[in-house]
Amino acid sequence: MKVISKIIGRFKAILNWYLFKIAKNWVILNFISKRIRPFLWKLTGVQVKGKISIGYDVYYDVGNATKIIVEEGVWIASRTLLLCHKRDLSNYHIGDDYNKLPTNKNQVILKKGCCVGMGSIVMPGVTIGEGAIVGAGSIVVKDVPAWSIAVGNPAKVVKEIK
């Protein structure tokens, strides 16, 4: 029974990877329908709530896709990265093997109507608030409040929307 569940688990991981590659790279999906890419994301475990828009070549942490929550009306521009895991460096010392360090896995939450600009990186544990805008090329390392604009590396709030 354990062997069968391992085989099924590996098959599912391979299938999710192929679905991710199709959703990420097929430019034709932009022309066919805006609903196909979000549908493929759902199949890999991303929690998509409502209609969203996803640009070309968006990378997300497919191995931890269940930790990504995307709400209604979100726009994720091309070449964005959504990451759900990072290495725990709290006990990293000289001579340690980086590859053997444990990983911390945290949710990424994109609230209703937010926009993540082209080429941005959203780190694990970040929530981008409702209606917030993240400027192109920003690296988001902490939460962005609702109805604000954040830009830069690291992203900082530069304007609150009235």
What confidence tier does 37 reach under pLDDT thresholds 50, 70, 90?
A: confident
* Domain boundaries, given as residue ranges, for the chain: 2-160
Model pLDDT, residue 26 = 58
pLDDT tens readout for residues 106-141? 999 999 999 999 999 999 999 999 999 999 999 999
Label residue 33 by pLDDT band (50, 70, 90): low
Over residues 23-35, mean pLDDT = 58
- Candidates 1.10.1370.30, 3.40.50.970, 3.90.470.20, 2.160.10.10; CATH matching 2-160: 2.160.10.10
Q: How confident is the model at residue 57 (pLDDT cuts 50, 70, 90)?
A: confident
Torsion of CA 67, 71, 77, 81, to 10 degrees: -10
pLDDT band of residue 142 (cuts 50, 70, 90) is: very high
